[in-house]
Structure 1
Amino acid sequence: MHALLPFFLAMITVIVLLNMLATKMKVAYPILLVMGGLLIGFIPGLPDIHINPDLIFLVFLPPLLFFSAGAASFKEMRKWWRMIGSFAFLVVFITALAVAIVTNRFIPGFSIGIGFLLGGIVSPPDAVSTAAITRFVKIPKVLTTVLEGESLVNDASSLIIFRFALIAVGTGQFIWQDATVSFLWMIIGGTGIGLLLGWIFVQMHKLLPTDASTDTVFILMEPYAMYWIAEQVHSSGVLAVVAGGLYISKKWLTFLSGSSRLRAVSVWESFIFLLNGIVFFIIGLALPDIVKGLRTEGISISTAIGYGVLVTVVLIVIRIICCYIAQLATVIFRRKILPAEIPRRAYLVPLIMGWTGMRGVVSLAAALSIPVMYNGVAFPQRNLILLITFVVIFLTLVVQGLTLPYFITKSNVFDRRLLIDSSEDEQDKKIKSGLRKEVRTFLKHKYDNGHLQNSVVFQKMMQHWEENEKADDDDWMSEETKQVYIASIEVQRRYLTELNKEPDINEDLIRRQLYLLDLQEERLKLG
């Protein structure tokens, strides 16, 4: 183990350096990670690292899904739930079916069951990859919401397909009645367990005398607990993590202190970034063994890469077709939910959305979790599935990821007025105005008639809020006045919590203001 420590330290260093390079080049870091993992995997003399496939899901998936659920806006997802649901379930199944049919037809030895297994692995677009790539280009809020919601929920649907296909291939049989009952239990049971555990964890944070450190540790444990408990009763651990993560995210404003929120966000961002990097490097390190296994099975590398290109083309074409069908169905049946201003080149929107189907960590983790042996027999086509999965991820990240910003910019499909949301500016002004009003009302009603009314400090604080100016020096603030200031911050938090219940208020703006309040409170406590 000690001999591997320098290698792990070097791997983490390379991951950090690649992220720095990606930031400098204004390229999504998953693109460089997957390229770096590919190159490093073929460096001679690297130590052999073998990871138990059963641990892949448990170690990597729960925190990745939990973090994505926490970053998503439940309010926006609820607004566009029809489109998100259709992409997360219907499109995933259609994609897996298309992959199964094509691979069964063109790849020797690929049964329909193995094709469905591969389809379940490669069908879900990756939330982290999509978010990282779209960060460098502006797209309308509705498309961002649909992409984030889809990539969050479709992980659960694709992995359910993957699980059933894995059992069918391993046992050689598939009983529809049992599968239907299991499918319903996985969805209902997983969602219910996630919501129940999310509620329990929120109560623990509220009732226990926790601080920022213990809150952060609890939050790191929660996705693993949700996943493990759900899996023990044979329901969907993925759905449990997603449902629990969304519930906790919705209650985020009410059960954590400002210090806990600031520290938890900082720790989680670093943790998730490290997990993403490690997964890409694992597949890179596993490639030499995969290539060796393919050669043993008599499959040439060029042939295997050709299969990967074929599957990638199927994925892209099916997604684009589904996007055009979704646009047509929306125009015919749900026209009233369309935005007031339609893009000038609306016919290109499904093409752009279809081009956002980058695959990533979830597909890698699913492929790596395929057991080497199943019921004492070598799992069929495992090495070929792994290589095809890597080719799909590599091509979608590099080709689609690098060209997507260019296509959006050059096509002018989105009018500048649609990218600059005027309603968001109005909401931001409303929030800030409401916060100032709440603080002035709070200070006047609670302290204006007390002994602080003649205090110069109190008058300065009132002037601060009335003129909306930040004080240049905090040295004049006494401990008593500091407590008043902190109390006024808590009033603003309550106002934001109530304001967030309004359906038309952008939740991202609420979170931004909450983050600023947390920073103000932390600065006061440290000052």
Structure 2
Amino acid sequence: MLELFPFYLVLIFLIMLLVMIGNAIKVAYPVLLVVAGLLLSFIPGVPSISIEPELIFVIFLPPLLYEAAWAISWKELWHWRRIIGSFAFVVVFLSASTVALVANYMIPGFSLALGFLLGGIVSPPDAVSASAILKFVKVPRRLATILEGESLLNDASSLIIFRFALIAVATGQFVWQEAALSFGWMIAGGLGIGLLVGFVFKKVQTWLPTDVNMDIIFTLIAPYTMYILAEEVHSSGVLSVVSGGLFLSYHRHSFLPASSRLRAEHVWQSLVFLLNGLVFLLIGLDLPEITSGLREEGISFSEATWYGVLITLVLILGRILAAYGAVIVTMVVGRFAAVADRRNPGPVTPLILGWTGMRGVVSLAAALSIPLTLADGSLFPHRNLILFITFVVILLTLIVQGLTLPILIQKVKLPDFGDHLPQEETENLIRKNLVRESRAFLAESHVSNWRQNPVIQNFLSLWSGESDTGESLKITGEDKELILALLERLRQSLLEMNKSKPEIDEETIREFLLYIDLEEEKIRMA
């Protein structure tokens, strides 16, 4: 491992270089990194890289899921919970079932259990790929929320299918009663453990004196604690991290001080950037190990590639049909029950939603975690073929869909759903609320001379829209305590505004909350 350390440093430098190139040419970096890893694998003398599935599931997956749970809006997630749940669970199950039937029929010697195993592996779209691509194009907020919410949950549902299929292949039988109980425990246990660990971490950081460094370390170890504890009791580690991350994100302003929130955000941005870059580059570098196994099964490269293309087409077509089906079901159900929005989104929106089905590292890690042998010592059937098909699916969806999605979004006209107020109107509404709350606070605090106090007037100008003079004013201890208390009042006002006004986009609220944190940090350091 130590002798490969310089090589990994080169890989990190290459990741940064490719991301910069991707930003310059408007191409999502996961596409460039996978292709670069693939090309590197053909260079003589490049060290052979093998992705350990435990490394992905234990080291990489928890922080990536945790960061995604912190970034998503709980308000939007709950609003679109039905469509998100249908894509994260129903569509994943339908995709796995379709792959199972096609593989069982088209691939010689492929049993239905093996088909479900393959389906569980390749059914979840990758969140990082879609997010990286959508960064270059403007899409409606609801579409981005649905994709982000789906990505938080589909890994859990697909890995549950994978586990049950693995048991069926290994034992040759499938007991529905035991599977139902196990399925229920995986979901309930995962959610419960995540919430419990999140609650414990919140209380520890609330009751005990911590500093910024301790708070950041707590955020780093929290996802690993949630994941490992859940997996140890055979529940879903993915759901544990997601539920715990959502819980702590929702309560972040009640137990993390502003300085910890600000600095932790920078640490997490760098960490997630590095982890995402490494896993996509390693996907391409893993090709030699994957292809070498095909010869052991006596399957030609062209035949295995055809199977991979076939499964990819099944997944793409199935997701597009599912997107249109979800719209139809929502419109029909909306006549009899309350839904988030039963208006017809038009023919384009489901197509875009269906085309965002790029696969990624979770699929490859699941395939690599298939054991080499069964309990009786015999080789696991078609393991190498499953690995290769998974690689082809990842490669094709990343390149074909990843490169064409921005073009498709730019060519078609997505409807303006009007879910939120326009950005400028939202900002004006928030600023007026902040000015009103500031004056109410000053009146309640019986500050008689606040209209003549230059420090307070300079502070109020931030929210009234007036330009800041940039004048450096000396802040006394009394003024400092007053402004810090006022900032906390404004923060709580924004949080309440976010809960009570669904027409306001939480992303804009978070921008103002960040600004308040920055102001608090400046005041404390003054």
Give TM-score, length-normalised by structure 1: 0.93
3-state DSSP of counterpart to 1:27: coil
Whether the 8 Å CA contact 2:498–2:509 is kept in 1: the answer is yes
Assess if the C-alpha contact under 8 Å between 2:38 and 2:284 holds in 1. Answer: yes
What RMSD, in angstroms, separates the aligned Cα atoms of the two structures?
2.3
Please report how far the alpha carbon of residue 339 of structure 1 lies from its aligned counterpart in structure 2 after TM superposition.
5.1
Alpha carbons of structure 1 residues 312 and 419: separation in structure 2 relative to 1, 3 Å: farther
Aligned to 1:525: 524
Give yes or no for the alignment of 1:401 onto 2:399. no
Report the AA paired with residue 245 of structure 2: G
| CA distance in 2 between partners of 1:363 and 1:303 (Å) | 21
Which residue does 2:480 correspond to in 1? 482
1:271: how far off? 1.2
Whether the 8 Å contact between 1:77 and 1:149 is mirrored in structure 2 is yes
Matched, 1:427 2:443: no
Name the structure 1 match of 2:312.
Answer: 312
Q: Residue type of the partner of 1:175?
A: V
- Looking at structure 2, the residues matched to 486 and 404 of structure 1 have their Cα atoms a distance apart, in angstroms, of 46
- Following TM superposition, by how much is the alpha carbon of 1:526 offset from its aligned partner in structure 2, in angstroms? 3.8
Structure 1 residues 285 and 405, CA gap change in structure 2 (3 angstroms): closer
Once the two structures are superposed, residues 474-524 of structure 1 have per-residue CA deviations (whole angstroms, 9 ceiling, x without a partner) of 243344433333332222111122222215132212211111111222233
- The answer on whether the counterparts of 2:187 and 2:236 sit within 8 Å (CA) in structure 1 is yes
Q: How far apart are 1:7 and its partner, in Å?
A: 0.6
Q: How does 1:202-241 map to 2 (within 5 A)?
A: 202-241=202-241
Distance 1:435 1:49, change over 3 A: same
Unmatched 5+ residue regions in structure 2? Answer: none
Alignment of 1:430-469 (within 5 A): 430-446=429-445, 448-449=447-448, 455-458=453-456, 460-461=458-459, 468-469=466-467
2:448 and 2:330 map into 1 onto residues whose CA distance is: 59
Kindly indicate whether residue 505 of structure 2 is the aligned counterpart of residue 506 of structure 1: yes
AA paired with 1:436? V
Per-residue deviation at 1:467? Answer: 6.4
Counterpart amino acid of residue 411 in structure 2: K
Contact 1:276–1:361 (CA<8 Å) still a contact in 2? no
CA distance in 1, matches of 2:222, 2:458: 44
Counterpart residue number, 2:333 = 333
How far the C-alpha of 1:425 sits from its partner, in A, is: 4.1
Counterpart position of 1:379: 380
**1:469 to partner: Cα distance:** 3.6
What does 1:156-305 correspond to in 2, within 5 Å?
Answer: 156-305=156-305
Q: Could you tell me how far apart the structure 1 residues matched to 2:50 and 2:146 are?
A: 37
How many angstroms apart in 1 are the aligned matches of 2:20 and 2:452? Answer: 53
Query: 1:367 offset after TM fit, Å?
Result: 2.1
Q: 2: CA distance between counterparts of 1:194 and 1:456?
A: 48
Q: Which secondary structure state, in structure 2, belongs to the residue aligned with residue 378 of structure 1? A: coil
Maintained 8 Å contact 1:253/1:497: no
SS in 1 for 2:350: helix
Determine if contact 1:464/1:471 at 8 Å carries over to the other structure.
Answer: no
Alignment deviations for residues 310-330 of structure 1 (CA, whole Å, 9 cap, x no partner):
111000111111111111112
Provide the C-alpha distance between the structure 1 equivalents of 2:264 and 2:366, rounded to a whole number of angstroms: 27
Change (3 A) 1:284 1:461: closer
**95-104 or 461-470: bigger deviation:** 461-470
Give the % identical residues.
Answer: 53
1:7-26 matches, within 5 Å, as 7-26=7-26
Take 2:397 and 2:468, find their aligned partners in 1: how far apart are those partners? 47
Identify if the C-alpha distance between structure 1 residues 263 and 370 changes in structure 2 by more than 3 Å, giving closer, same or farther: farther
> Displacement of 1:136 after TM fit?
1.5
Aligned to 2:86: 86
Within 1, Cα distance between the matches of 2:281 and 2:379? 25
Q: What's the offset of the Cα at 1:436?
A: 1.7
Deviations 1:278-319 (A, max 9, x none): 222333232112211112322122221111111110001111
> Is 2:330–2:342's contact at 8 Å kept on the other side of the alignment?
no
The aligned residue for residue 63 of structure 1 is 63
Partner of 2:95: 95
* In 1, Cα distance between equivalents of 2:457 and 2:321: 64
Q: Cα–Cα, structure 1 residues 463 and 4, in superposed 2: closer, same or farther, change >3 Å?
A: closer
CA contact (8 A) 1:254 1:497 kept: no
User: 1:89-168 maps to which residues of 2 (within 5 A)?
Assistant: 89-168=89-168
CA contact (8 A) 1:121 1:367 kept: yes
Q: Pick closer, same or farther for the CA change 1:459–1:262 going to 2, 3 Å.
A: closer
1:67-123 superposed Cα distances (whole Å, 9 cap, x missing partner) = 111111121111111111111111111100000111111112321111111111111
1: CA distance between counterparts of 2:243 and 2:457?
47
User: How much has 1:173 moved relative to structure 2?
Assistant: 2.4
The verdict on how the C-alpha distance between 1:51 and 1:459 changes in structure 2, with shifts beyond 3 A counting, is: closer
- Name the counterpart of 1:37: 37
Unaligned runs of 5+ in 1: none
CA distance in structure 2 between the partners assigned to 1:273 and 1:392 by the alignment? 23
TM superposition shift of 1:431: 1.9
CA distance in 1, matches of 2:342, 2:313: 34
Moved more, 41-50 or 346-355: 41-50
Residues 308 and 387, structure 1, Cα contact 8 Å, conserved in 2: yes
Aligned partner letter, 1:185: W
Q: 2:511 is matched by which residue type in structure 1?
A: R
Mark the CA change 1:290 to 1:480 in structure 2 (over 3 Å): closer, same or farther: same
- SS of aligned partner of 2:21: helix
Q: TM-score, normalised by structure 2?
A: 0.93
